[in-house]
Amino acid sequence: MDDKQKIWAAGLLLRALRDRTRMDALPEIYRPRDEAEAYEIQDRFVAGMLAELGGEIVGYKAGCTNVTAQRQLGLSSPFAGPLLSTFVRTSPAEISAEDGFMRMIEAEIGFRLGQDLADTGTPYTALTVRPALAAAFGAIEVVDSRYDDWTSAGAPQLIADNVCTGFWVHGEESADFSAIDLADHLVQVRRNGNLAEQGSSANVLDNPLNVVAWLANHLIGRGSCLKAGHLITTGTMIAVNGAEKGDNIEADFGALGTVEVSFT
């Protein structure tokens, strides 16, 4: 796949986002054949969104951090994409139900970095990334997709689509989270006041800190790195849930607070 084809693929995704249209899949000639091509298309798609919508990259999200989900998509590791300020909201948030095709809810633990995680020549681990984290918080990712059926599009196309980029809502930061067991922290998600789903941080690579380490190593492998101030979200702790127009969603992260989003 040459650069021109990657540019065209990114352009098709950008047009779908702009015109609020969906496609069965990228045309075969513009379809990424592997993760490397997918990330190169993602880079161009992200650049196009920034050029058209403004804003900046404020951090990164990791997806498919559940082993079961990885097997379903034929992956052996998570995937990742930038968080764009245009789509970031602070809880409590209101989002138009018309701004996107899907309202798929993921409850996630996030972090803000206090220092760079640059290339040291040694891969990062949960233990070595922990001192770089300045704060923790709960978050809700509202997953969206430019494909009619994201579950059958395949991992490379999802990566190209900035790993199903949609909105992301984060809660209040907690700078003192040393007493929280990040390997087994619970969340309860309520829809219109009723319990809809619950889950544990153990569902994301056994511990969200493992996800931060994976993300740091992934970006270094692509010639970049996580930087101080970046926001990170580590993947869903729950089974993906849908929301409808008019719904109010609350994710209760206990000591990490509650995150709320309404679809108007």
> Which pLDDT score is estimated for 39?
97
Mean pLDDT of 181-210: 96
Determine which helix (DSSP H) or strand (DSSP E) holds 143, and give its type and residue range.
strand 133-143
Residue for token pair 């395949």 = 154
How do strand 167-170 and strand 88-90 relate by DSSP bridges? parallel
How far is CA 41 from each of CA 26, 156, 158, rounded to the nearest angstrom? 11, 10, 11
* Cβ-Cβ contacts under 8 Å for 116 (sequence gap 6 or more): 132, 225, 226, 227, 228
pTM of the predicted protein model: 0.94
Q: At what angle do helices 35-53 and 3-19 cross, to 10 degrees?
A: 50
72 band by pLDDT with thresholds 50, 70 and 90: low
Q: How many CB atoms lie within 10 A of CB 94?
A: 12
For the cut 90, the answer to whether the pLDDT of residue 241 exceeds it is no
Alpha carbons 166 and 251: distance in angstroms, whole number: 18
Tens-place pLDDT, residues 34-58: 999 999 999 999 999 999 999 999 9
* Cβ-Cβ contacts under 8 Å for 102 (sequence gap 6 or more): 143, 144, 145, 150, 166, 242
> Which pLDDT score is estimated for 206?
95
- Range among 59-73, 102-116, 142-156 with highest mean pLDDT value: 102-116
Helix (H, G, I), strand (E, B) or coil at 73: helix
Mean pLDDT of 91-96: 96
> Which pLDDT score is estimated for 100?
78
Question: Positive or negative CA dihedral for 74, 79, 85, 89?
Answer: positive
Amino acid at 144: D
Least confident interval from 35-49, 64-78, 124-138: 64-78
For the cut 80, the answer to whether the pLDDT of residue 165 exceeds it is yes
Q: Helix H segments across the chain?
A: 3-19, 35-53, 67-73, 126-129, 155-160, 208-221
Residue from 140, 124, 147, 139 nearest 217 by CA: 124
Q: How many CB atoms lie within 10 A of CB 216?
A: 25
CB 170 within 8 A of CB 110: yes
Mean pLDDT of 94-100: 88
**Which residue segments constitute the domains of the chain, with CATH numbers given?**
56-263 (3.90.850.10)
Helix (H, G, I), strand (E, B) or coil at 13: helix
Residue for token pair 């609020």 = 20
